[in-house]
Structure 1
């Protein structure tokens, strides 16, 4: 559905002037700051509150040092990242920036096939496709699910976008934008433990030690926002090494020194 929405703004299905009705994306008026303190808080949460939820060796010395070093550099580079992404017009179009399951509508068509669409159309805007996908995936729970499917979902987006009349999007371009969006999301996600600690009597500092896993009923019965916020914390931890975020950002910064 996200790929169709994006393609239809280029193939004329929404009319010739649709991209004039929705203004192009702009730099955010405010950027994330205080990253050092946020990363320290995030690492404390992983090591002291939910270490039993994480695979052995996931949060090790390398994880800790590269998370701090990389996100401190990302904080400085936020405007450069937005400029880079928004300058690539092939990756900008109509998106639903909250493309998560609680904003989805599912039904069966006349042939019995499952179709999907969106609700919460206030989130439709012009932005980079990487944002739509990263923001759509980052609250997937459990994190193993995102790890198993995010690369394939990126490829499905590319294929569906082209099939619906959109232009060709290169895989390397899509992957770069996806990782850049995760860089920006990371400097925000590392502050999420402060939200989680206030969400429930079961999630206050130290209490999650008593909860055996993220699939425990005490977690599943949290409000949607709290449960999603917790999922973002887990997903960041799981993808950091899998997508080699430190190595990727270091290479990107060399090519885009600002």
Structure 2
């Protein structure tokens, strides 16, 4: 691939660095120009110096770095600790291939500078993207995890180590509903329709060709073999012969109705809104407000777009442990509907929202999660030695623990739903 050092952004028209070395070379002078262009820095203020700059690892795309800066004149709204995310990774072709994912994230970062934005996000100091080359940059405040009242960062798939699981998911659901409801109320202006037009096919279907019903049947057999050989990993009914028989019969049949499912998920414009599609706990930070209520900010806005809110709810709850689903899901659904309406969105039909959520979970689960047995075994060949889902053989490997949790959540919802009745409604156009 051809390495570039600087490109001119499509949004703000400023030349910006494509990698860490170029940013360091641009120094405080570049940061001053950038922060003024974004409106974060007044014309009579400046970045006086970069005190520290270091690259950090993490994420599946681009390169990242942390900056510590000083300003000519400190102001209450200015942060000294900053996070920089590049869309490009010129040393890794696979990671660099995902560079286009930052375009929407940049658009959202600039949108978040609107006054009274409905959700807390990392303060945007500069963001721009060059579509022709897929080169982008995002500079935000660095979240002070574990400091100044902010809770430590929580890792995906380790909710059992997080205190007050329900309180954290309530905070996430409120944030999702506030953004979606505020958009439906028109409080974000017409920028959303221009920058995030609704794409009916986005985030509802697999990027690859969908599996045939026969292929789904083969993957169901992979799950049954894994669950039979490792019953300690799948609680209760998910390891029972009765559920195996249901899944063998129902999963291929549901897959044959996938085009009808997609039509249904596109059919209710009142349920389509701007959403974070992956609001797991590791994409948020938490603190308690003045009233002692747990609240959160959301980060990592890659793939942000307008979508059916049911997609966003699954994106949030998919890595939650089963007690959240089995004991608190109804209340969380009620909370979303209430918060969505209080922010100006229409009153959503609870029955319809639940149906759309179930359809989306079933469709996405068949598209992706039935591959999990082979994925987990490849990532952890000694999986059979794990005594439970919380065994270190699983919890020490993010891919394995996340795959197992999401697979379990998908199958648990399937087991608790009358899928025959749902499919009958699909077949007769009654959904």
Superposed pair shares fold, TM > 0.5: yes
- 1:32-52 per-residue CA deviation (whole Å, 9 max, x = no partner) reads 30212111111111111x212
Q: Which structure would you say has the larger RCO, counting Cα contacts within 8 Å and 6 or more residues apart?
A: 1
Q: Where do 1:145-184 residues align within 5 Å?
A: 145-184=324-363
Pairwise CA distance, 1:3: 0.4
2: distance between equivalents of 1:254 and 1:25? Answer: 26
Q: Where does residue 247 of structure 2 map in the other structure?
A: 67
Q: Where does residue 46 of structure 1 map in the other structure?
A: 227
Query: Which of 128, 143, 165 is the matching residue for 2:308?
Result: 128
2: distance between equivalents of 1:59 and 1:254? Answer: 32
Q: Where does residue 189 of structure 2 map in the other structure?
A: 15
1:104 pairs with 2:284: yes
2: distance between equivalents of 1:107 and 1:135? Answer: 22
Query: Which of 389, 395, 406 is the matching residue for 1:214?
Result: 389
Pairwise CA distance, 1:159: 0.6
Pairwise CA distance, 1:152: 1.8
CA contact (8 A) 2:386 2:392 kept: no
- 1:207-233 per-residue CA deviation (whole Å, 9 max, x = no partner) reads 33321111222322112x332111012
Q: Where do 1:71-110 residues align within 5 Å?
A: 71-110=251-290
- 1:22-74 per-residue CA deviation (whole Å, 9 max, x = no partner) reads 011222454430212111111111111x2123344543333122212222122
1: distance between equivalents of 2:210 and 2:246? Answer: 19
- 1:192-218 per-residue CA deviation (whole Å, 9 max, x = no partner) reads 111111223xxx2xx333211112223
2: distance between equivalents of 1:21 and 1:56? Answer: 46
SS of residue paired to 2:226: helix
Structure 2 unaligned regions, length at least 5: 1-174
1:36 pairs with 2:196: no
Structure 1 unaligned regions, length at least 5: none
CA distance 1:60–1:113, change in 2 (3 Å): closer
State the TM-score, normalizing by the size of structure 1.
0.88
Stretch moving more, 52-61 or 21-30: 52-61
CA distance 1:122–1:57, change in 2 (3 Å): closer
SS of residue paired to 2:257: helix
- 1:224-253 per-residue CA deviation (whole Å, 9 max, x = no partner) reads x33211101222332222122343233333
CA distance 1:81–1:87, change in 2 (3 Å): same
State the TM-score, normalizing by the size of structure 2.
0.54
CA contact (8 A) 1:140 1:228 kept: no
Find the structure with the greater CA-based Rg.
Answer: 2
More strand by share: 2
SS of residue paired to 2:184: coil
CA distance 1:98–1:42, change in 2 (3 Å): same
2: distance between equivalents of 1:79 and 1:43? Answer: 26
2: distance between equivalents of 1:162 and 1:227? Answer: 35
1: distance between equivalents of 2:263 and 2:235? Answer: 36
Pairwise CA distance, 1:132: 0.8
1:198 pairs with 2:378: yes
2: distance between equivalents of 1:247 and 1:59? Answer: 23
